[in-house]
Structure 1
Amino acid sequence: MRLLLINPNTTASMTEKIGTAARDVAADGTEIVARNPATGPASIQGVEDGEAALPGLFAEIDKAKDFDAIVIACFDDTGLYEARRRTGVPVIGIGEAAYHYAMLIAERFSVVTTLSVSIPVIQENIMRYGLSARCGKVRASNVPVLELERPGSTARETISDEIASALLHDGSDAIVLGCAGMADLAADLAARHHVPVIDGVAAAVKLAEGLVALKLGTSQSGPFARTLAA
């Protein structure tokens, strides 16, 4: 099985981190290829960055060959529905995957993301997926995406503090990390707070593997694609 992970921004260090997180959970025999576009925003924070990332993202999808599934490794699920219309293999967004895993293990989940500009996009996605009743709150840690890549950053502690607030105030019993750049934090934060902390990169890899194994692929002309286009 070959899975392509596309980081829609141009920050290579984040792409490398995403690839490592994916390989850590991938099944034996699953090959992970992680790529990012050569042009576009360095990070995706809000609607404008998401729109600016689309040309590079779609170019990567259009040239992808011989992959069994594609993961869009941006928590905003940037370009997800259009991506599914451009290819005949399953395309999974890491936000979408994380929410579904959270619902399997918790009554309610909270999302801890980066900046507040990302909150409306995430809230709209959760509503579009029909999951609003299970989401306690979408919270901003006020950590810029690229701060997650800076050596010596205090981002981990800031995100941990926001998780503590979510558990105290939201009535949630699981946390979803709202950025692909947080992929390396999940295990540590779960141990600190004694609740499931879900990284969307890992969730998307396992979901993609399952879809491929069950032969539940997406066809450009199939009913799933037509539903997404509606």
Structure 2
Amino acid sequence: MKIKVINPNTTLEMTEGIEHAAKSAARPDTQILAVSPKMGPISIESYYDEYLSIPGVIEEIIKGEKEGVDAYVIACYGDPGLQAAREVTDKPVVGIAEASLYLASMLAARFSVVTVLPRIKTMLEELVDSYGMSRRVVNIRTTPLSVLDFEKDPERGMKMLEEEGEKAVSEDNAEAILLGCAGMADFADKLEEKLGVPVIDGVVAGVKFAESIVDLGKKTSKLKTYKYPEKKEYTGLLDTFGDQAAVK
């Protein structure tokens, strides 16, 4: 099968790290196609960044329909564009936050998220609530580092994650830790060894869920909510999206 893993930001170094994590989890017979959109922010750390990344994500989904893709993974912890992406394909589309939360709920009663800058906390609280996981997530812990800081200084990034992870276990009584950024994949195994609880990277979780859904032969329901968008005119920068989205 072919799984397209979309990094919604345009930092190619981060996409390469995401590709490595995805391939490390995928089966030998699974082809991973890791991409960044041609348009969008270099990192996603605000509502503004997130919303402006969505057209690029949708465009990559539309391209994937012509590339023979069997499933998609949106590799940003805000799951930007996830619901809209499900409208333009009948293939499974998995968000890495959604996947990590569902996986954690099967492994632990309560868990904490460790993520990037403090400003993202409210965004993730709202996301967690939208997935019905507010009672399971005991805390969302932030670090002083941006998304790109983890790319530039992984040693410091590991130190910050370890510090917040230890607090999550000792102060939050978290029984698992979720890494709240797609660029944190390389830290998961070392953190799990140090903290003594499951540490879940969303990219890995997303790939395994995508594989499982394809194996089960399931597709996105087109009955009502996620049916293909109605054909209509879009103008300005979005003038090509109307005809492309309503392909069925």
Query: TM class by shorter-chain length?
Result: over 0.9
The question of whether the paired residues in 2 share the 8 Å contact of 1:218 and 1:224 is answered with no
The question of whether the paired residues in 2 share the 8 Å contact of 1:112 and 1:139 is answered with yes
What is the CA distance between 1:153 and its match in structure 2?
Answer: 4.5
2:85 is aligned, of 71, 83, 92, to 83
Tell me the SS of whatever aligns to 1:184. Answer: helix
What is the CA distance between 1:82 and its match in structure 2?
Answer: 0.7
1:155 is aligned, of 154, 157, 160, to 157
Stretches of structure 2 that go unaligned for 5 or more consecutive residues are: 228-248
**Structure-to-structure mapping, 1:11-160, within 5 angstroms:** 11-64=11-64, 65=66, 66-151=68-153, 153-160=155-162
Q: Match of 2:245? A: none
CA distance in 1, matches of 2:38, 2:69: 20
Question: Using a 3 Å threshold, how does the CA distance of structure 1 residues 215 and 33 change in structure 2: closer, same or farther?
Answer: same
What is the CA distance between 1:28 and its match in structure 2?
Answer: 2.1
Query: Percent same amino acid at aligned positions?
Result: 43
CA offset digits 1:185-209 (Å, max 9, x no partner): 1001001111110000000000000
Between Structure 1 and Structure 2, how many residues are aligned?
225
What is the CA distance between 1:224 and its match in structure 2?
Answer: 6.5
Q: Match of 1:195? A: 197
What is the CA distance between 1:122 and its match in structure 2?
Answer: 1.1
- Give the partner amino acid of 1:56: G
RMSD: 1.3
Tell me the SS of whatever aligns to 2:48. Answer: helix
Question: Using a 3 Å threshold, how does the CA distance of structure 1 residues 152 and 92 change in structure 2: closer, same or farther?
Answer: closer
Stretches of structure 1 that go unaligned for 5 or more consecutive residues are: none
CA offset digits 1:158-197 (Å, max 9, x no partner): 1110111111111210000000000111001001111110
CA distance in 2, matches of 1:152, 1:58: 30
- Decide which structure has the larger Cα Rg and report it: 2
- Give the partner amino acid of 2:78: D
Q: Match of 1:222? A: 223
Tell me the SS of whatever aligns to 2:186. Answer: coil
Question: Using a 3 Å threshold, how does the CA distance of structure 1 residues 152 and 225 change in structure 2: closer, same or farther?
Answer: closer
CA distance in 2, matches of 1:164, 1:96: 23
CA distance in 1, matches of 2:192, 2:173: 17
CA distance in 2, matches of 1:12, 1:92: 21
Tell me the SS of whatever aligns to 2:226. Answer: helix
CA distance in 2, matches of 1:161, 1:69: 35
CA distance in 1, matches of 2:15, 2:154: 19
What is the CA distance between 1:56 and its match in structure 2?
Answer: 1.3
- Give the partner amino acid of 1:142: P
With normalisation by structure 1, the TM-score equals 0.94
What is the CA distance between 1:21 and its match in structure 2?
Answer: 0.3
Q: Match of 1:212? A: 214
CA distance in 2, matches of 1:225, 1:210: 20
Does 1:7 pair with 2:7?
yes
What is the CA distance between 1:83 and its match in structure 2?
Answer: 0.8
With normalisation by structure 2, the TM-score equals 0.88
Question: Using a 3 Å threshold, how does the CA distance of structure 1 residues 195 and 83 change in structure 2: closer, same or farther?
Answer: same
CA offset digits 1:32-64 (Å, max 9, x no partner): 000001221100002111011112111111111
CA distance in 2, matches of 1:92, 1:16: 19
The question of whether the paired residues in 2 share the 8 Å contact of 1:147 and 1:153 is answered with no
Tell me the SS of whatever aligns to 1:110. Answer: strand
CA distance in 1, matches of 2:223, 2:187: 37
The question of whether the paired residues in 2 share the 8 Å contact of 1:141 and 1:159 is answered with yes
Q: Match of 1:185? A: 187
